[in-house]
Amino acid sequence: MTKEGESVEDAKARLAEEQKAREEEMRRLERPAAKIKK
């Protein structure tokens, strides 16, 4: 899971950032869909 030369802490921080970015992207995609359903 860690990249070459990357510490476990660095990997956890990177994965947390990627997860946050994915969640924000999902929220952006969900908002227009929610408006269409109503």
What is residue 25's predicted lDDT score, i.e. its pLDDT?
94
Each residue's pLDDT tens digit, 1-36: 566 888 999 999 999 999 999 999 999 988 776 666
- Least Cα distance to 1 among 11, 10, 9 occurs for 11
Could you tell me if 19 and 11 are in contact, meaning their C-beta atoms sit under 8 angstroms apart?
no
Residues 6+ apart with CB under 8 A from 15: 1
What is residue 33's predicted lDDT score, i.e. its pLDDT?
67
Q: What is the dihedral of CA 25, 4, 13, 27, to 10 degrees?
A: 10
Single pTM value for the model: 0.58
